[in-house]
Amino acid sequence: MLANQSIGYMDAPVPKGLDLKEAISRLKKEKNAVILAHYYQTEEIQDTADFVGDSLALAQWATKTKANILVLCGVHFMGETAKILCPDKKVLVPDLNAGCSLADSCPAPEFERFVKEHPDHTVISYVNTSAAVKALTDVVVTSTNARQIVESFPKETPIIFGPDRNLGSYINRVTRRDMLLWDGACHVHERFSLEKILELEERYPDAKVVTHPECKKEVVEISDFVGSTAALLKYTVQSEARRFIVATESGVIYEMRKRSPEKEFIPAPPSDGACACNECNFMRQNTMEKLYNCLRFEMPEIFVDEEIRKKAIKPIQRMLEISERLHL
Ligand code: 13P
Ligand code: SF4
């Protein structure tokens, strides 16, 4: 992953008293760079980015920008997806160690064996995967389009769905299918405590529980609304409810509050620890200092092996084409 890059650059000292937001904006102009950030980034990073979105929107945006440099404030697979789509651009991530437990739960050699054992199956993979897993895939999905893409295949089509067992079993339930699931999961979304959510519901009976489908079935089943980051945001804006218990990474609450300042958002607590909210430790490895250094040194850069890239781009483009057709 580090490809001969010294990650010491990431932690290079930043001049004392420097206005980071201003310095980042200056470097961005000088270098014709854009900053794309996921909603799970810190508030400061979201405020500094040119574009903030969910996984699907970040991929869609990457294909449209004319900038020479893309800085992906998210995790490694998001940078890889941008690089696969834009091989001629320099794609940077503030911290190359920002991985993803879900992507890591699906090593490519094991997934390849699984796929080979079921040669008649169409392979649908969540975007939270390595480039090598995407290269073994027929169509990539994100949580925003997974249901519609699965439903675009005839019901009798045998499908392998990986790597998220929770998203996969949720889609199996809502589409009444029996896709073969890879046994992976996101440690953040699996960590929500049903008991603590039920306690919050008792305390705030008017609140709606809104949940990402990467959460466990028991949490999904007691929720008022289940959807991707983009769908949760839309729901909280359109709903007449004034209060929401939010069972997804708590970074998205920043945007929820911006869009609906009159409403109250309560982060659903994880089962472990005293903390009331649930943050992705990988996403939170990116900081304003690292973002500044990344633009300053144009490192760390994402590289994808060209053979893998040529295979991986096909299922991503297929996803983007279907999403465009469905206006997602
Ligand atoms: P979305 O951005 O597709 O909702 O995915 C959530 C997630 O866990 C990203 O890592
Ligand atoms: Fe991966 Fe989960 Fe973090 Fe998203 S929240 S980047 S799926 S570990």
pLDDT in tens, 38-93: 999 999 999 999 999 999 999 999 999 999 999 999 999 999 999 999 999 999 99
Q: How far is the CA of 17 from the centre of ligand 1 (A)?
A: 34
Would the pLDDT of 274 be above 70? no
Q: Residue with the nearest Cα to atom 3 of ligand 2?
A: 280
- φ, ψ for residue 34, nearest 5 deg: -125, 150
- Report the pocket of ligand 1 as residue ranges, CB < 6 Å: 54-55, 128, 142-144, 186, 214, 228-229
Q: Relative to the CA of 100, which ligand 2 atom is closest?
A: 1
pTM: predicted TM-score of the whole model, two decimal places: 0.94
Beta-carbon count within 10 A of 255 CB: 18
Q: Residue with the nearest Cα to atom 1 of ligand 2?
A: 100
pLDDT in tens, 85-137: 999 999 999 999 999 999 999 999 999 999 999 999 999 999 999 999 999 99
Would the pLDDT of 1 be above 70? no
- Pocket test of ligand 2: the residue of 42, 97, 187 to mutate, having most ligand atoms within 8 Å of its CB, is 187
Per-residue pLDDT band at 8 (split at 50, 70, 90): low
Could you tell me the two tokens for 189?
Answer: 């979304």
Q: Residue with the nearest Cα to atom 6 of ligand 2?
A: 100
User: Is 160 touching ligand 2 by the criterion CB < 6 Å?
Assistant: no
3 state SS for the chain? CCCCCCHHHHHCCCCCCCCHHHHHHHHHHHHCEEEEEECCCCHHHHHHCCEEECHHHHHHHHHHCCCCEEEEECCHHHHHHHHHHCCCCEEECCCCCCCCHHHHCCCHHHHHHHHHHCCCCEEEEECCCCHHHHCCCCEEECCCCHHHHHHCCCCCCCEEEECEHHHHHHHHHHHCCCCEECCECCCCHHHECHHHHHHHHHHCCCCEEEECCCCCHHHHHCCCEECCHHHHHHHHHHCCCCEEEEECCCCHHHHHHHHCCCCEEEECCECCCCCCCCCCCCHHHCCHHHHHHHHHHCCCECCCCHHHHHHHHHHHHHHHHHHHHCCC
pLDDT of residue 3: 47
pLDDT in tens, 209-244: 999 999 999 999 999 999 999 999 999 999 999 999
CA distance 47 to 41: 10
pLDDT in tens, 254-273: 999 999 999 999 999 988 76
- Mean pLDDT for the stretch of residues 179-193: 96
pLDDT in tens, 23-42: 999 999 999 999 999 999 99
